[in-house]
Structure 1
Protein backbone atom coordinates (compact mmCIF):
# COMPACT_ATOMS: atom_id res chain seq x y z
CA UNK A 1 0.00 0.00 0.00
CA UNK A 2 1.07 3.61 -0.56
CA UNK A 3 1.54 5.99 2.35
CA UNK A 4 -1.80 7.60 1.52
CA UNK A 5 -3.80 4.40 1.37
CA UNK A 6 -2.34 2.48 4.30
CA UNK A 7 -4.68 2.03 7.32
CA UNK A 8 -2.33 3.93 9.62
CA UNK A 9 -2.14 6.83 7.20
CA UNK A 10 -5.92 6.85 6.82
CA UNK A 11 -6.35 7.27 10.56
CA UNK A 12 -4.30 10.49 10.36
CA UNK A 13 -5.64 11.73 7.03
CA UNK A 14 -9.37 11.48 7.72
CA UNK A 15 -9.43 13.83 10.73
CA UNK A 16 -7.50 16.33 8.61
CA UNK A 17 -10.12 16.07 5.86
CA UNK A 18 -13.01 16.39 8.29
CA UNK A 19 -11.37 19.30 10.08
CA UNK A 20 -10.63 21.03 6.81
CA UNK A 21 -14.18 20.51 5.64
CA UNK A 22 -16.03 21.75 8.69
CA UNK A 23 -13.79 24.64 9.68
CA UNK A 24 -12.34 25.65 6.35
CA UNK A 25 -12.96 29.17 5.07
CA UNK A 26 -15.76 29.45 2.56
CA UNK A 27 -17.00 32.89 3.54
CA UNK A 28 -16.81 35.69 0.97
CA UNK A 29 -16.56 39.03 2.79
CA UNK A 30 -19.06 41.45 1.28
CA UNK A 31 -20.90 44.47 2.57
CA UNK A 32 -24.58 45.13 2.41
CA UNK A 33 -27.62 45.89 4.54
CA UNK A 34 -27.69 44.57 8.08
CA UNK A 35 -29.68 41.37 8.40
CA UNK A 36 -31.87 39.90 11.11
CA UNK A 37 -30.77 37.48 13.76
CA UNK A 38 -30.59 33.70 13.68
CA UNK A 39 -29.34 30.60 15.46
CA UNK A 40 -28.19 27.18 14.31
CA UNK A 41 -27.82 24.03 16.40
CA UNK A 42 -26.35 21.26 14.24
CA UNK A 43 -24.94 17.79 14.77
CA UNK A 44 -22.84 15.96 12.21
CA UNK A 45 -21.67 12.41 11.52
CA UNK A 46 -18.46 11.60 9.66
CA UNK A 47 -18.27 8.39 7.64
CA UNK A 48 -15.64 6.67 5.52
CA UNK A 49 -16.87 4.21 2.90
CA UNK A 50 -20.23 4.26 4.70
CA UNK A 51 -18.78 3.39 8.12
CA UNK A 52 -19.10 5.89 11.03
CA UNK A 53 -15.76 7.34 12.13
CA UNK A 54 -16.63 10.58 13.92
CA UNK A 55 -19.28 12.88 15.36
CA UNK A 56 -19.49 16.61 15.96
CA UNK A 57 -21.75 19.48 16.95
CA UNK A 58 -21.85 23.10 15.84
CA UNK A 59 -23.70 26.09 17.29
CA UNK A 60 -23.97 29.52 15.66
CA UNK A 61 -25.57 32.64 17.16
CA UNK A 62 -25.90 35.79 15.04
CA UNK A 63 -27.31 39.06 16.39
CA UNK A 64 -27.57 42.47 14.79
CA UNK A 65 -24.05 43.53 15.82
CA UNK A 66 -22.15 40.45 16.98
CA UNK A 67 -21.84 36.71 16.43
CA UNK A 68 -20.39 33.60 18.03
CA UNK A 69 -19.79 30.08 16.78
CA UNK A 70 -18.48 26.96 18.47
CA UNK A 71 -17.90 23.37 17.41
CA UNK A 72 -16.77 20.14 19.07
CA UNK A 73 -16.03 16.75 17.58
CA UNK A 74 -14.31 13.44 18.09
CA UNK A 75 -13.60 10.03 16.65
CA UNK A 76 -16.25 7.33 16.82
CA UNK A 77 -17.07 3.88 15.46
CA UNK A 78 -14.40 2.24 13.32
CA UNK A 79 -11.81 4.99 13.70
CA UNK A 80 -12.00 4.88 17.50
CA UNK A 81 -10.88 1.27 17.37
CA UNK A 82 -7.54 2.46 15.93
CA UNK A 83 -7.08 5.76 17.74
CA UNK A 84 -9.00 8.36 19.70
CA UNK A 85 -9.06 12.09 19.30
CA UNK A 86 -11.20 15.14 19.89
CA UNK A 87 -11.24 18.80 18.99
CA UNK A 88 -13.01 22.05 19.69
CA UNK A 89 -13.04 25.44 18.02
CA UNK A 90 -14.76 28.76 18.60
CA UNK A 91 -14.92 32.19 17.03
CA UNK A 92 -16.44 35.49 18.12
CA UNK A 93 -16.68 38.83 16.41
CA UNK A 94 -18.70 41.74 15.10
CA UNK A 95 -21.40 42.04 12.46
CA UNK A 96 -20.65 45.08 10.29
CA UNK A 97 -22.93 45.93 7.34
CA UNK A 98 -24.01 42.30 7.25
CA UNK A 99 -20.45 40.92 7.22
CA UNK A 100 -19.03 38.69 9.98
CA UNK A 101 -15.71 40.11 11.21
CA UNK A 102 -13.93 37.75 13.57
CA UNK A 103 -11.97 39.18 16.50
CA UNK A 104 -11.05 35.97 18.36
CA UNK A 105 -10.48 32.37 17.30
CA UNK A 106 -9.42 29.40 19.43
CA UNK A 107 -8.95 25.72 18.65
CA UNK A 108 -7.78 22.70 20.65
CA UNK A 109 -6.91 19.23 19.36
CA UNK A 110 -6.31 16.29 21.70
CA UNK A 111 -5.02 12.79 20.91
CA UNK A 112 -3.44 10.12 23.13
CA UNK A 113 0.00 11.50 22.16
CA UNK A 114 -0.46 15.27 22.38
CA UNK A 115 -2.68 18.28 22.97
CA UNK A 116 -2.33 21.36 20.80
CA UNK A 117 -4.02 24.72 21.49
CA UNK A 118 -4.17 27.71 19.14
CA UNK A 119 -5.45 31.22 19.83
CA UNK A 120 -5.66 34.09 17.35
CA UNK A 121 -6.72 37.72 17.76
CA UNK A 122 -7.81 39.42 14.53
CA UNK A 123 -8.67 42.94 13.41
CA UNK A 124 -10.32 43.51 10.03
CA UNK A 125 -8.89 40.29 8.60
CA UNK A 126 -5.34 40.76 9.93
CA UNK A 127 -3.81 38.40 12.50
CA UNK A 128 -2.68 40.62 15.36
CA UNK A 129 -1.70 37.94 17.87
CA UNK A 130 -1.03 34.22 17.47
CA UNK A 131 -0.13 31.79 20.25
CA UNK A 132 0.50 28.03 20.33
CA UNK A 133 0.73 25.67 23.27
CA UNK A 134 3.09 23.97 22.76
CA UNK A 135 5.00 25.72 19.98
CA UNK A 136 5.02 24.05 16.56
CA UNK A 137 8.24 22.13 15.82
CA UNK A 138 10.46 23.76 13.24
CA UNK A 139 10.60 21.92 9.91
CA UNK A 140 12.95 23.29 7.20
CA UNK A 141 10.72 21.76 4.51
CA UNK A 142 7.68 23.82 5.51
CA UNK A 143 6.83 26.78 3.26
CA UNK A 144 7.24 29.79 5.58
CA UNK A 145 4.28 31.99 6.48
CA UNK A 146 5.08 35.69 6.06
CA UNK A 147 3.36 38.74 7.55
CA UNK A 148 1.68 39.29 4.17
CA UNK A 149 0.09 35.84 4.46
CA UNK A 150 -1.56 36.92 7.73
CA UNK A 151 -3.41 39.87 6.18
CA UNK A 152 -6.77 39.74 4.42
CA UNK A 153 -7.62 36.31 5.84
CA UNK A 154 -10.44 34.51 7.64
CA UNK A 155 -10.14 32.18 10.58
CA UNK A 156 -11.47 28.69 9.79
CA UNK A 157 -14.56 28.89 12.01
CA UNK A 158 -15.85 32.20 10.66
CA UNK A 159 -14.90 31.02 7.21
CA UNK A 160 -17.24 28.05 7.41
CA UNK A 161 -20.22 30.43 7.25
CA UNK A 162 -20.97 31.50 3.69
CA UNK A 163 -22.43 35.01 3.36
CA UNK A 164 -24.57 35.64 0.27
CA UNK A 165 -25.04 39.33 -0.62
CA UNK A 166 -28.17 40.86 -2.10
CA UNK A 167 -31.86 40.76 -1.26
CA UNK A 168 -33.07 37.68 -3.17
CA UNK A 169 -33.07 34.03 -2.21
CA UNK A 170 -29.55 33.22 -0.93
CA UNK A 171 -29.90 29.62 -2.12
CA UNK A 172 -28.80 29.66 -5.74
CA UNK A 173 -25.82 29.57 -8.11
CA UNK A 174 -24.56 32.96 -6.93
CA UNK A 175 -23.82 31.47 -3.49
CA UNK A 176 -21.03 29.39 -5.03
CA UNK A 177 -19.32 32.32 -6.72
CA UNK A 178 -16.92 32.73 -3.82
CA UNK A 179 -13.36 32.16 -2.72
CA UNK A 180 -11.51 32.90 0.49
CA UNK A 181 -8.03 33.23 1.95
CA UNK A 182 -7.87 31.20 5.17
CA UNK A 183 -5.28 31.05 7.94
CA UNK A 184 -5.79 28.32 10.55
CA UNK A 185 -2.87 29.30 12.77
CA UNK A 186 -0.40 27.11 10.95
CA UNK A 187 -1.30 26.97 7.27
CA UNK A 188 -2.42 29.64 4.84
CA UNK A 189 -4.57 28.34 1.98
CA UNK A 190 -7.26 29.39 -0.47
CA UNK A 191 -10.62 27.68 -0.88
CA UNK A 192 -12.55 28.25 -4.09
CA UNK A 193 -16.15 27.35 -4.88
CA UNK A 194 -17.98 26.66 -8.12
CA UNK A 195 -21.69 25.96 -8.61
CA UNK A 196 -22.71 22.35 -9.26
CA UNK A 197 -26.44 21.90 -8.65
CA UNK A 198 -29.47 22.41 -6.42
CA UNK A 199 -30.92 19.51 -4.43
CA UNK A 200 -33.25 18.73 -1.52
CA UNK A 201 -31.75 17.62 1.79
CA UNK A 202 -33.36 16.24 4.94
CA UNK A 203 -31.83 15.99 8.39
CA UNK A 204 -33.05 13.37 10.85
CA UNK A 205 -34.06 16.32 13.03
CA UNK A 206 -34.67 19.85 11.87
CA UNK A 207 -34.18 21.24 8.40
CA UNK A 208 -35.54 19.69 5.26
CA UNK A 209 -35.57 21.66 2.05
CA UNK A 210 -33.36 23.03 -0.72
CA UNK A 211 -29.58 23.18 -0.55
CA UNK A 212 -27.03 24.58 -2.96
CA UNK A 213 -24.15 22.24 -3.84
CA UNK A 214 -20.77 23.75 -4.70
CA UNK A 215 -17.58 22.17 -5.94
CA UNK A 216 -14.68 23.01 -3.61
CA UNK A 217 -11.01 23.40 -4.56
CA UNK A 218 -8.11 23.55 -2.10
CA UNK A 219 -5.05 25.67 -2.93
CA UNK A 220 -2.18 25.58 -0.39
CA UNK A 221 -0.23 28.83 -0.12
CA UNK A 222 2.13 28.70 2.87
CA UNK A 223 2.76 26.90 6.16
CA UNK A 224 2.64 23.43 4.61
CA UNK A 225 5.15 20.74 3.63
CA UNK A 226 4.86 20.21 -0.16
CA UNK A 227 5.75 16.51 -0.08
CA UNK A 228 2.96 15.57 2.36
CA UNK A 229 0.61 13.11 0.58
CA UNK A 230 -2.56 14.62 2.04
CA UNK A 231 -1.60 18.08 0.75
CA UNK A 232 -0.87 16.72 -2.72
CA UNK A 233 -4.12 14.77 -2.74
CA UNK A 234 -6.33 17.67 -1.66
CA UNK A 235 -4.65 20.12 -4.02
CA UNK A 236 -5.16 17.78 -6.98
CA UNK A 237 -8.73 16.76 -6.11
CA UNK A 238 -11.42 17.96 -8.54
CA UNK A 239 -14.37 15.99 -7.19
CA UNK A 240 -14.91 17.41 -3.69
CA UNK A 241 -18.25 19.07 -3.02
CA UNK A 242 -20.13 20.81 -0.22
CA UNK A 243 -23.87 21.38 0.25
CA UNK A 244 -25.03 24.54 2.04
CA UNK A 245 -28.34 25.13 3.86
CA UNK A 246 -29.65 28.44 5.27
CA UNK A 247 -29.46 29.83 8.78
CA UNK A 248 -32.97 31.27 9.07
CA UNK A 249 -33.28 35.00 9.66
CA UNK A 250 -29.91 35.72 8.03
CA UNK A 251 -28.15 35.62 4.69
CA UNK A 252 -25.68 33.08 6.05
CA UNK A 253 -25.42 29.52 4.71
CA UNK A 254 -23.83 26.74 6.76
CA UNK A 255 -22.41 23.41 5.59
CA UNK A 256 -24.99 20.61 5.58
CA UNK A 257 -22.86 17.95 3.90
CA UNK A 258 -19.29 17.65 2.64
CA UNK A 259 -18.07 14.85 0.34
CA UNK A 260 -14.40 14.02 -0.32
CA UNK A 261 -13.58 10.92 -2.41
CA UNK A 262 -10.46 9.15 -1.08
CA UNK A 263 -8.52 6.02 -2.07
CA UNK A 264 -10.17 4.28 0.91
CA UNK A 265 -13.71 5.21 -0.10
CA UNK A 266 -16.01 8.19 0.18
CA UNK A 267 -15.33 10.47 3.17
CA UNK A 268 -18.49 12.35 4.12
CA UNK A 269 -19.50 14.78 6.83
CA UNK A 270 -23.30 15.18 6.98
CA UNK A 271 -25.75 16.87 9.33
CA UNK A 272 -28.01 14.54 11.29
CA UNK A 273 -29.53 17.55 13.08
CA UNK A 274 -29.87 21.01 11.57
CA UNK A 275 -32.18 23.11 13.73
CA UNK A 276 -32.22 26.75 12.71
CA UNK A 277 -34.44 29.55 13.99
CA UNK A 278 -34.84 33.23 13.21
CA UNK A 279 -34.96 35.57 16.18
CA UNK A 280 -36.40 39.09 16.15
CA UNK A 281 -33.99 42.04 16.20
CA UNK A 282 -33.38 43.65 19.54
CA UNK A 283 -35.59 46.62 20.34
CA UNK A 284 -33.76 49.64 21.69
CA UNK A 285 -34.74 50.57 25.23
CA UNK A 286 -36.60 53.84 25.71
CA UNK A 287 -37.13 55.86 28.83
Structure 2
Protein backbone atom coordinates (compact mmCIF):
# COMPACT_ATOMS: atom_id res chain seq x y z
CA UNK A 1 0.00 0.00 0.00
CA UNK A 2 1.47 3.38 -1.02
CA UNK A 3 1.85 6.38 1.24
CA UNK A 4 -0.50 8.30 -1.06
CA UNK A 5 -3.24 5.68 -0.78
CA UNK A 6 -2.97 5.51 3.01
CA UNK A 7 -2.97 9.30 3.34
CA UNK A 8 -5.95 9.71 1.02
CA UNK A 9 -7.99 7.04 2.78
CA UNK A 10 -7.20 8.36 6.26
CA UNK A 11 -8.04 11.88 5.16
CA UNK A 12 -11.50 10.85 4.03
CA UNK A 13 -12.11 8.82 7.18
CA UNK A 14 -10.83 11.75 9.15
CA UNK A 15 -13.50 13.95 7.60
CA UNK A 16 -16.08 11.96 9.53
CA UNK A 17 -14.08 12.38 12.71
CA UNK A 18 -13.95 16.10 11.98
CA UNK A 19 -17.70 16.04 11.57
CA UNK A 20 -17.92 14.61 15.00
CA UNK A 21 -15.21 16.72 16.60
CA UNK A 22 -15.34 19.96 14.52
CA UNK A 23 -22.00 16.47 16.50
CA UNK A 24 -25.91 15.87 18.37
CA UNK A 25 -29.16 17.69 19.17
CA UNK A 26 -30.14 21.29 19.82
CA UNK A 27 -28.34 21.92 23.08
CA UNK A 28 -29.51 23.39 26.34
CA UNK A 29 -26.90 24.82 28.65
CA UNK A 30 -27.60 24.08 32.29
CA UNK A 31 -24.72 26.28 33.47
CA UNK A 32 -21.69 28.10 32.12
CA UNK A 33 -18.44 26.27 31.45
CA UNK A 34 -15.25 26.14 29.42
CA UNK A 35 -13.21 23.37 27.79
CA UNK A 36 -9.59 23.52 26.63
CA UNK A 37 -8.59 20.18 25.09
CA UNK A 38 -5.74 18.75 23.05
CA UNK A 39 -6.18 15.69 20.87
CA UNK A 40 -3.90 13.28 19.00
CA UNK A 41 -4.88 11.27 15.92
CA UNK A 42 -3.32 7.92 15.08
CA UNK A 43 -3.66 5.21 12.45
CA UNK A 44 -2.80 1.66 13.52
CA UNK A 45 -1.00 3.15 16.51
CA UNK A 46 1.10 5.55 14.41
CA UNK A 47 0.66 9.27 15.24
CA UNK A 48 -0.64 11.18 12.23
CA UNK A 49 -2.11 14.41 13.63
CA UNK A 50 -2.69 16.77 16.55
CA UNK A 51 -5.41 19.28 17.31
CA UNK A 52 -7.04 21.53 19.90
CA UNK A 53 -10.67 22.26 20.81
CA UNK A 54 -11.98 25.16 22.87
CA UNK A 55 -15.59 25.64 23.95
CA UNK A 56 -17.00 28.57 25.92
CA UNK A 57 -20.60 28.69 27.13
CA UNK A 58 -21.69 32.01 28.58
CA UNK A 59 -24.93 33.54 29.83
CA UNK A 60 -26.16 34.72 26.44
CA UNK A 61 -23.59 33.53 23.87
CA UNK A 62 -21.40 30.56 23.08
CA UNK A 63 -18.43 29.79 20.86
CA UNK A 64 -16.47 26.70 19.87
CA UNK A 65 -13.30 26.43 17.81
CA UNK A 66 -10.93 23.67 16.76
CA UNK A 67 -7.69 23.50 14.82
CA UNK A 68 -5.24 20.78 13.92
CA UNK A 69 -2.74 19.43 11.46
CA UNK A 70 -1.05 16.31 10.17
CA UNK A 71 2.19 15.01 11.70
CA UNK A 72 4.83 12.41 10.93
CA UNK A 73 4.40 10.58 7.62
CA UNK A 74 1.27 12.51 6.65
CA UNK A 75 2.95 15.83 7.35
CA UNK A 76 5.83 14.88 5.10
CA UNK A 77 3.34 14.00 2.38
CA UNK A 78 0.69 16.70 2.52
CA UNK A 79 1.42 19.19 5.32
CA UNK A 80 -2.33 19.31 5.85
CA UNK A 81 -3.97 21.49 8.49
CA UNK A 82 -7.44 22.76 9.27
CA UNK A 83 -9.58 24.88 11.54
CA UNK A 84 -13.25 25.23 12.34
CA UNK A 85 -15.47 27.47 14.43
CA UNK A 86 -19.11 27.83 15.40
CA UNK A 87 -20.78 30.58 17.38
CA UNK A 88 -24.23 31.73 18.32
CA UNK A 89 -26.60 32.76 21.09
CA UNK A 90 -27.86 31.11 24.23
CA UNK A 91 -31.65 31.49 24.02
CA UNK A 92 -33.76 30.26 26.92
CA UNK A 93 -30.92 27.92 27.81
CA UNK A 94 -30.48 26.53 24.28
CA UNK A 95 -27.33 26.87 22.16
CA UNK A 96 -28.51 28.32 18.85
CA UNK A 97 -25.71 28.52 16.29
CA UNK A 98 -25.84 31.20 13.63
CA UNK A 99 -22.54 30.72 11.80
CA UNK A 100 -19.97 28.03 11.05
CA UNK A 101 -16.67 28.24 9.20
CA UNK A 102 -14.09 25.57 8.37
CA UNK A 103 -10.84 25.89 6.44
CA UNK A 104 -8.62 23.05 5.26
CA UNK A 105 -5.21 23.51 3.68
CA UNK A 106 -2.87 20.97 2.08
CA UNK A 107 0.25 21.22 -0.04
CA UNK A 108 -1.97 21.37 -3.13
CA UNK A 109 -4.96 23.54 -2.20
CA UNK A 110 -6.88 25.48 0.41
CA UNK A 111 -10.66 25.45 0.87
CA UNK A 112 -13.06 27.39 3.12
CA UNK A 113 -16.62 26.35 3.93
CA UNK A 114 -19.09 28.85 5.39
CA UNK A 115 -22.59 28.14 6.71
CA UNK A 116 -25.26 30.64 7.72
CA UNK A 117 -27.67 28.99 10.16
CA UNK A 118 -31.21 30.07 11.05
CA UNK A 119 -34.53 28.54 12.11
CA UNK A 120 -33.07 25.09 12.77
CA UNK A 121 -31.31 24.66 9.46
CA UNK A 122 -28.68 25.95 7.04
CA UNK A 123 -30.02 29.07 5.37
CA UNK A 124 -27.05 29.62 3.08
CA UNK A 125 -23.62 28.11 2.44
CA UNK A 126 -20.57 28.50 0.26
CA UNK A 127 -17.35 26.69 -0.61
CA UNK A 128 -14.38 28.81 -1.71
CA UNK A 129 -13.03 28.10 -4.25
CA UNK A 130 -16.25 26.68 -5.69
CA UNK A 131 -15.71 22.97 -6.47
CA UNK A 132 -16.41 21.59 -9.94
CA UNK A 133 -19.79 19.95 -10.50
CA UNK A 134 -19.60 16.14 -10.44
CA UNK A 135 -22.60 14.55 -12.20
CA UNK A 136 -22.27 11.44 -10.04
CA UNK A 137 -22.69 13.36 -6.78
CA UNK A 138 -26.15 13.20 -5.18
CA UNK A 139 -27.49 16.74 -5.16
CA UNK A 140 -28.11 18.45 -1.81
CA UNK A 141 -31.57 20.03 -1.93
CA UNK A 142 -33.03 22.78 0.23
CA UNK A 143 -35.00 20.12 2.13
CA UNK A 144 -31.74 18.33 3.00
CA UNK A 145 -30.53 21.49 4.78
CA UNK A 146 -33.50 21.69 7.16
CA UNK A 147 -33.44 20.25 10.69
CA UNK A 148 -29.66 19.79 10.62
CA UNK A 149 -26.69 20.96 12.67
CA UNK A 150 -23.28 22.20 11.65
CA UNK A 151 -20.45 19.78 12.56
CA UNK A 152 -19.04 21.95 15.36
CA UNK A 153 -22.23 22.65 17.27
CA UNK A 154 -23.25 19.06 16.62
CA UNK A 155 -20.16 17.77 18.41
CA UNK A 156 -21.92 18.03 21.78
CA UNK A 157 -24.70 16.08 23.50
CA UNK A 158 -27.02 17.65 26.07
CA UNK A 159 -28.48 15.09 28.48
CA UNK A 160 -31.80 16.34 29.89
CA UNK A 161 -33.09 15.75 33.39
CA UNK A 162 -31.37 15.82 36.77
CA UNK A 163 -29.83 12.32 36.94
CA UNK A 164 -26.18 11.60 36.21
CA UNK A 165 -25.61 12.65 32.56
CA UNK A 166 -23.06 9.86 32.16
CA UNK A 167 -25.63 7.14 31.61
CA UNK A 168 -26.90 4.88 28.79
CA UNK A 169 -29.59 7.48 28.08
CA UNK A 170 -26.92 9.82 26.71
CA UNK A 171 -26.39 7.51 23.74
CA UNK A 172 -30.05 7.16 22.78
CA UNK A 173 -30.05 9.99 20.26
CA UNK A 174 -29.08 10.97 16.74
CA UNK A 175 -29.12 13.90 14.34
CA UNK A 176 -28.61 15.18 10.81
CA UNK A 177 -25.38 16.98 9.91
CA UNK A 178 -24.52 19.22 6.96
CA UNK A 179 -20.87 20.24 6.57
CA UNK A 180 -21.18 22.34 3.43
CA UNK A 181 -20.75 19.42 1.08
CA UNK A 182 -22.02 16.24 2.69
CA UNK A 183 -25.44 15.72 4.31
CA UNK A 184 -25.49 12.67 6.58
CA UNK A 185 -27.21 11.19 9.62
CA UNK A 186 -25.42 10.00 12.75
CA UNK A 187 -27.26 7.62 15.10
CA UNK A 188 -25.96 6.60 18.52
CA UNK A 189 -26.56 3.56 20.66
CA UNK A 190 -25.28 2.69 24.13
CA UNK A 191 -22.26 0.38 24.24
CA UNK A 192 -20.62 0.48 27.71
CA UNK A 193 -19.26 2.56 30.58
CA UNK A 194 -15.52 2.85 31.20
CA UNK A 195 -12.92 5.03 32.90
CA UNK A 196 -10.62 7.32 30.91
CA UNK A 197 -7.64 9.44 31.87
CA UNK A 198 -5.97 12.29 30.04
CA UNK A 199 -2.31 13.08 30.56
CA UNK A 200 -3.54 16.41 31.92
CA UNK A 201 -6.95 17.25 33.27
CA UNK A 202 -9.91 14.90 33.23
CA UNK A 203 -9.82 11.40 34.65
CA UNK A 204 -13.02 9.55 35.44
CA UNK A 205 -16.02 7.85 33.88
CA UNK A 206 -17.02 8.00 30.23
CA UNK A 207 -20.07 6.71 28.41
CA UNK A 208 -19.17 4.89 25.18
CA UNK A 209 -21.64 5.07 22.30
CA UNK A 210 -21.71 3.14 19.04
CA UNK A 211 -22.05 5.43 16.01
CA UNK A 212 -23.84 4.59 12.77
CA UNK A 213 -23.22 6.73 9.68
CA UNK A 214 -25.82 7.08 6.93
CA UNK A 215 -25.02 9.29 3.90
CA UNK A 216 -28.03 11.24 2.61
CA UNK A 217 -26.78 13.63 -0.08
CA UNK A 218 -23.70 15.41 -1.36
CA UNK A 219 -21.73 12.19 -1.86
CA UNK A 220 -20.73 9.94 -4.76
CA UNK A 221 -22.31 6.50 -4.13
CA UNK A 222 -19.47 4.50 -5.70
CA UNK A 223 -16.77 5.98 -3.46
CA UNK A 224 -15.20 3.12 -1.42
CA UNK A 225 -14.80 5.23 1.72
CA UNK A 226 -18.50 6.12 1.79
CA UNK A 227 -19.42 2.45 1.40
CA UNK A 228 -16.94 1.47 4.12
CA UNK A 229 -18.22 4.00 6.65
CA UNK A 230 -21.88 3.21 5.97
CA UNK A 231 -21.21 -0.50 6.50
CA UNK A 232 -19.34 -0.06 9.79
CA UNK A 233 -20.89 -1.29 13.05
CA UNK A 234 -17.79 -0.77 15.21
CA UNK A 235 -17.37 3.03 15.18
CA UNK A 236 -17.47 4.29 18.76
CA UNK A 237 -17.11 7.51 20.75
CA UNK A 238 -16.35 7.89 24.46
CA UNK A 239 -18.10 11.01 25.85
CA UNK A 240 -17.23 12.94 29.02
CA UNK A 241 -18.81 16.09 30.52
CA UNK A 242 -17.91 19.76 30.45
CA UNK A 243 -17.69 20.69 34.13
CA UNK A 244 -20.76 22.30 35.62
CA UNK A 245 -23.01 21.46 32.66
CA UNK A 246 -25.05 18.56 31.30
CA UNK A 247 -23.17 18.73 28.01
CA UNK A 248 -20.99 15.78 26.94
CA UNK A 249 -18.22 16.00 24.35
CA UNK A 250 -16.00 13.38 22.68
CA UNK A 251 -12.93 12.26 24.63
CA UNK A 252 -12.01 9.48 22.19
CA UNK A 253 -13.27 8.32 18.78
CA UNK A 254 -12.33 5.06 17.04
CA UNK A 255 -13.05 4.14 13.40
CA UNK A 256 -11.98 0.74 11.96
CA UNK A 257 -10.13 1.01 8.63
CA UNK A 258 -8.48 -1.50 6.29
CA UNK A 259 -5.11 -0.23 7.62
CA UNK A 260 -5.93 -0.58 11.32
CA UNK A 261 -7.96 1.53 13.77
CA UNK A 262 -8.09 5.29 13.20
CA UNK A 263 -8.28 6.98 16.60
CA UNK A 264 -8.75 10.52 17.88
CA UNK A 265 -8.09 10.83 21.64
CA UNK A 266 -7.68 13.63 24.16
CA UNK A 267 -4.23 13.98 25.72
CA UNK A 268 -5.24 17.07 27.70
CA UNK A 269 -8.83 17.76 28.76
CA UNK A 270 -9.10 20.75 31.09
CA UNK A 271 -12.64 21.88 31.84
CA UNK A 272 -13.87 24.46 34.35
CA UNK A 273 -17.32 25.52 35.50
CA UNK A 274 -18.52 29.06 36.05
CA UNK A 275 -21.65 29.78 38.10
CA UNK A 276 -24.59 31.39 36.30
CA UNK A 277 -24.54 35.17 36.41
CA UNK A 278 -26.86 36.62 39.04
CA UNK A 279 -28.85 39.66 38.02
CA UNK A 280 -28.05 42.78 39.98
CA UNK A 281 -30.75 44.23 42.19
CA UNK A 282 -31.23 47.80 43.21
TM range (shorter): over 0.9
Q: Distance in 2 between matches of 1:69 and 1:89?
A: 8
Identify if the C-alpha distance between structure 1 residues 101 and 164 changes in structure 2 by more than 3 Å, giving closer, same or farther.
same
What's the counterpart of residue 15 of structure 1? Answer: 11
CA offsets, 1:230-266, max 9 Å, x none? Answer: 1011000111100001001111101000001111011
Q: Distance in 1 between matches of 2:200 and 2:277?
A: 28
What's the counterpart of residue 26 of structure 2? Answer: 29
Q: CA deviation at 1:114?
A: 0.7
Q: How many residues align structurally?
A: 281
How do residues 195-210 of structure 1 correspond to structure 2 at under 5 angstroms? 195-210=190-205
TM-score norm. by structure 1 comes to 0.94
Q: CA deviation at 1:208?
A: 0.1
1:257 aligns with 2:252: yes
Q: 2:65 aligns with which of 62, 70, 79?
A: 70
Q: CA deviation at 1:204?
A: 0.2
Name which of structure 1's ranges 7-16 and 194-203 shifts more when overlaid on structure 2: 7-16
Identify if the C-alpha distance between structure 1 residues 8 and 226 changes in structure 2 by more than 3 Å, giving closer, same or farther.
same
CA offsets, 1:82-141, max 9 Å, x none? Answer: 221000000001223433221000000001111100111111222122122111210000
Contact 1:22 1:255 in 2 (8 A): no
Contact 2:184 2:217 in 1 (8 A): yes
Contact 2:27 2:157 in 1 (8 A): no
Q: CA deviation at 1:30?
A: 6.2
Task: List 4+ stretches of structure 1 deviating above 4 A.
Answer: none
1:109 aligns with 2:109: no
How do residues 1-287 of structure 1 correspond to structure 2 at under 5 angstroms? 6-24=2-20, 26-29=23-26, 35-287=30-282
TM-score norm. by structure 2 comes to 0.95
Contact 2:48 2:72 in 1 (8 A): yes
Contact 1:35 1:64 in 2 (8 A): no
Name which of structure 1's ranges 105-114 and 119-128 shifts more when overlaid on structure 2: 119-128
Q: CA deviation at 1:286?
A: 4.2
Identify if the C-alpha distance between structure 1 residues 114 and 42 changes in structure 2 by more than 3 Å, giving closer, same or farther.
same
Q: Distance in 2 between matches of 1:203 and 1:30?
A: 25
Q: CA deviation at 1:7?
A: 3.5
Alpha carbon RMSD of aligned pairs, Å? 1.5
